[in-house]
Chain A
């Protein structure tokens, strides 16, 4: 009952087996669908009567739009405008998924390593494809720039390759660890409250962990947005880097 890891359990809601694949709808998948439906409904209603004079919801949407637009512009430059739709949907998906997970009894799908590493690997593969598409085989020059002394090249290539391969891993683990750590922290501190209440003499002190949990939830809300922001900024940097033409 008090296991802090219990809420990260993936449950199978609707078992579906197609050929040899397991395509079951788990609670993780259900929350992802819920997130997408919420985004679609929110944007559908918000932009229904879009006009020169924005309605209240249109203001919110425009704010988010320009927020991500600024990130893309500062990190990827003007030729990065093509990245905007992908970055915007990535931000909304991660951000709203994180915030849904904060609700009591809800499941946060970003607390599954496979989801976050999966999203990070998509960014990684796209960055390689864009790099080869924009620069041709010249893209691999990136691992071995010109003008290096010959004795340093082997070390440089190895180090560069390792840091390149660790990008999706660090990107995925950062999001995963932030969400899991926050949830576990909230549950452990809520557990303190339960154990204070069960001792009759000290039951009044239980208010302290509960009050602290309220603060922690506000902090978590900030972390949820911040992590979506960081994910977008970093993937924007990676994609922009592979898009940039090498000057030589």
Chain B
């Protein structure tokens, strides 16, 4: 295969990780909303935990992004 083509295909494959991240974020926020609607008085505590979790899940997506960028620009 042409190495340049392989580079671009690799970049595309690298962001398949976003599939899992999408599921994870959706699940996380759905349970966050559920928890808040069950107990609105705990919103403040839940939101800070929620945002910490959001950042952690999102970092997986960004790791995939870094891999894709490395393939496109560095290799």
Which residue numbers of A lie inside 8 Å of B, CB to CB?
5, 71, 74, 170, 173-174, 177-178, 180-181, 184, 226-227, 229-230, 233-234
B65, A181: Cβ atoms closer than 8 Å: yes
B55, A5: Cβ atoms closer than 8 Å: no
Segment touching A, from B3-11, B25-33, B34-42, B56-64: B56-64
Known: A180-B69, A229-B52, A230-B56. 17 other contacts (CB 8 A): A71-B48, A170-B59, A173-B62, A173-B63, A174-B56, A174-B62, A177-B63, A177-B65, A178-B55, A178-B58, A178-B59, A181-B66, A226-B51, A227-B55, A230-B51, A233-B48, A233-B52
Smallest Cβ distance from A191 to chain B, in angstroms?
14
Given the known interface contacts A180-B66, A181-B65, the answer about A173 and B55 at a Cβ–Cβ threshold of 8 Å is no
Q: Which B residues lie within 8 Å of A180 (CB)?
A: 66, 69
A173, B73: Cβ atoms closer than 8 Å: no
Max chain B C-beta neighbours (<10 A), residue from A71, A74, A170, A177: A177
Q: Which B residues lie within 8 Å of A226 (CB)?
A: 51, 54-55
Kindly report which residue of chain B lies nearest to residue A171, judged by CB atoms.
B59
Instruction: Report the tally of A-B residue pairs with Cβ distances under 8 A.
Output: 42
Q: Which A residues lie within 8 Å of B59 (CB)?
A: 170, 173-174, 177-178
Kindly report which residue of chain A lies nearest to residue B44, judged by CB atoms.
A70
Distance A27 CA – B42 CA, assembled complex (angstroms): 44
Q: Which B residues lie within 8 Å of A174 (CB)?
A: 55-56, 59, 62
Max chain A C-beta neighbours (<10 A), residue from B45, B52, B58, B59: B59
Distance A230 CA – B65 CA, assembled complex (angstroms): 20
Given the known interface contacts A5-B73, A184-B69, the answer about A178 and B52 at a Cβ–Cβ threshold of 8 Å is no
B62, A178: Cβ atoms closer than 8 Å: yes
B52 touches which of A170, A173, A177, A230 (Cβ 8 Å): A230
B51, A173: Cβ atoms closer than 8 Å: no
Q: Which B residues lie within 8 Å of A5 (CB)?
A: 69, 73
Max chain A C-beta neighbours (<10 A), residue from B52, B62, B73: B62
Given the known interface contacts A5-B73, A184-B69, the answer about A229 and B62 at a Cβ–Cβ threshold of 8 Å is no
